[in-house]
Structure 1
């Protein structure tokens, strides 16, 4: 087993999760990510935790629920680390386990490289402060306007709470991605109109080969143009996967755009929108799929006030 992975895992469990001796640690994985999961489990044992590893069959897409037995085990653990190819972040299993008091870190698509380079190496004290500040602007806002390359997308965020994914989950019920660094929320369903230019990456696809133009009416995708358009629409399906479910702002200055959305959506200078499920973080969409789309250096306005200019915070 790679000693560098074990040491990096030990640092993550201590600084981001605060794993204590005697706590129950459940590592949820699949066959593609089993090596990394085993290193995390080994690190947990070394810290004195009651560490367990469960390996399930790979899910087919982000947001797909794990098996019922895995979901039940998550609810019984003090700490849950999800090291999987596809994301369990926006699942009822994650939400229910957090409600039971578990501290949860989800690592969809994590690679060994990401354990030692990029977003995971950030000063998470700085990331936390920046993320909480941006999250408060989202909570206080009522309307978002995104502008890029002559295209505009608008939607309401009235009465929706911003969420700070800081990478630090020390209290019961706290959860989020690792590596992390984003402030996000669920836009008001049915309010989005306009177009957005996606020139970063797409969850489940990777970096886009050319800018993708997504057209939205009444909160749902009605058209997409670009090399990856057909693949995106196939992932989302014909139901509520087409509904705008998330808006987020990256806040991690060490994150890189690699084609892996786990890291890409955290990059300072990017925003992301996602289509599909948002019921686990304040919305009403339960689509069984959640696909993030990353945008480089947009202009963003909240209630007409500039928040980002070419991706840089102006507040």
Structure 2
């Protein structure tokens, strides 16, 4: 019975998000625990005349770990790829190289069967796309971007000569997007971020999820220098220390959530899309326009953010302030 209710979301991913055409080869990268989702998507690819290929990989040990080389090569040679995994392979050379080679792809990290039936997947991606593109344009190439929240966040950075990325769940050749989060993001210039981040929404990794209490991060010269909080903060702090990689503290991204159907549930691609939220990505930035490859990429999510770019108020307490 559940497969029936999953079919609508699978159809949306195949036909709206990826835009699969007859005779196209679609590589579905998955794990055994996500097989029901991969099969629902493959069935829709087959129904419309495409050629679905399901490849099952061993779950990655950590987020941002590269998939096996043979999978990376397959991603480069297919028309489209769909990643349905628990541990993210989004911020990897495999994705970057596949996109550079002309493939188009979507990533469904931490996706559940329920997410294929309700929540962010129900949003009108086409209708929201213009807003997402405009936000990406306005946060890009700015001398100074300022992020604040009533909960104590106050972060400044430069995005000069950095592109804005509009991820609105629909892709063309040489593009990738997350689903169902709708977000505009930019990668700060390395070394320019400074201030304080107070995450009060979610850190959807390592089993942390929706935050019980705020986690505070001090940032100097583009790097996190301290992490303060309670139990959930300690989980993240310990994990980052164990990486033995200074780049995991890099301020890699500022992303603006724009999906009105997303809610904080503890899963990455739902939480990051919550309308009016902002997440600061740390670690790897190579898929976003930055230059850093780290041992991981995690997102620190804040509610009801205010954003000013080169003096222009773009969002105030979680509400977009410009018209399309």
Q: Structure 1 CA distance, aligned partners of 2:236 and 2:256?
A: 21
Alpha-carbon contact 2:152-2:196 (below 8 Å) kept:
no
Q: Does 1:74 align with 2:63?
A: no
Partner of residue 11, structure 1? 12
Q: In structure 2, the residue corresponding to 1:281 is in which secondary structure?
A: coil
Change beyond 3 A, Cα 1:223–1:53: same
Residue in structure 2 matching 1:225, options 220, 224, 228: 228
Partner of residue 279, structure 2? 272
Q: How does 1:217-296 map to 2 (within 5 A)?
A: 217-227=220-230, 228-236=232-240, 237-238=243-244, 239-296=246-303
Moved more, 74-83 or 202-211: 202-211
Q: Does 1:121 align with 2:118?
A: no
Q: Structure 2 CA distance, aligned partners of 1:44 and 1:248?
A: 31
Give the number of aligned pairs.
Answer: 314
What CA deviation, in whole Å up to 9, does each residue of 1:266-291 have, x standing for no partner? 11110000100001221110003100
Which contiguous aligned blocks of 4+ residues in structure 1 show a shift greater than 6 angstroms?
none
What CA deviation, in whole Å up to 9, does each residue of 1:166-218 have, x standing for no partner? 1111x211111111310001101111111111001113121111011111111
Q: Does 1:39 align with 2:43?
A: no
Alpha-carbon contact 2:181-2:274 (below 8 Å) kept:
no
Residue in structure 2 matching 1:160, options 157, 162, 174: 162
Moved more, 232-241 or 17-26: 232-241
Q: Structure 1 CA distance, aligned partners of 2:159 and 2:220?
A: 16
Q: Structure 2 CA distance, aligned partners of 1:261 and 1:150?
A: 23
Q: In structure 2, the residue corresponding to 1:54 is in which secondary structure?
A: strand
What CA deviation, in whole Å up to 9, does each residue of 1:111-138 have, x standing for no partner? 1111121111111122201101101101
Q: Structure 1 CA distance, aligned partners of 2:296 and 2:118?
A: 29
Q: Structure 2 CA distance, aligned partners of 1:165 and 1:235?
A: 28
Alpha-carbon contact 1:36-1:83 (below 8 Å) kept:
yes
Change beyond 3 A, Cα 1:187–1:46: same
Q: Structure 2 CA distance, aligned partners of 1:121 and 1:251?
A: 13
Q: Structure 1 CA distance, aligned partners of 2:8 and 2:278?
A: 32
What CA deviation, in whole Å up to 9, does each residue of 1:138-191 have, x standing for no partner? 12422111122344111111111101001111x211111111310001101111
Partner of residue 26, structure 1? 27
Aligned-pair Cα RMSD in Å:
1.4
Change beyond 3 A, Cα 1:158–1:48: same
Q: Structure 2 CA distance, aligned partners of 1:297 and 1:99?
A: 35
Q: Structure 2 CA distance, aligned partners of 1:72 and 1:191?
A: 35
Q: How does 1:66-105 map to 2 (within 5 A)?
A: 66-105=67-106
Moved more, 132-141 or 234-243: 234-243
Residue in structure 1 matching 2:212, options 205, 209, 218: 209
Kindly state the Cα deviation for residue 88 of structure 1 after the two structures are TM-superposed.
1.6
Q: Structure 1 CA distance, aligned partners of 2:254 and 2:102?
A: 26
Q: Structure 2 CA distance, aligned partners of 1:163 and 1:290?
A: 17
Q: In structure 2, the residue corresponding to 1:8 is in which secondary structure?
A: helix
What CA deviation, in whole Å up to 9, does each residue of 1:236-262 have, x standing for no partner? 334201111011101111111111111
TM-score (norm 1): 0.96
Alpha-carbon contact 1:186-1:282 (below 8 Å) kept:
yes
Moved more, 62-71 or 297-306: 297-306
Q: Structure 1 CA distance, aligned partners of 2:136 and 2:44?
A: 32
Partner of residue 62, structure 1? 63
Q: Structure 2 CA distance, aligned partners of 1:15 and 1:284?
A: 31
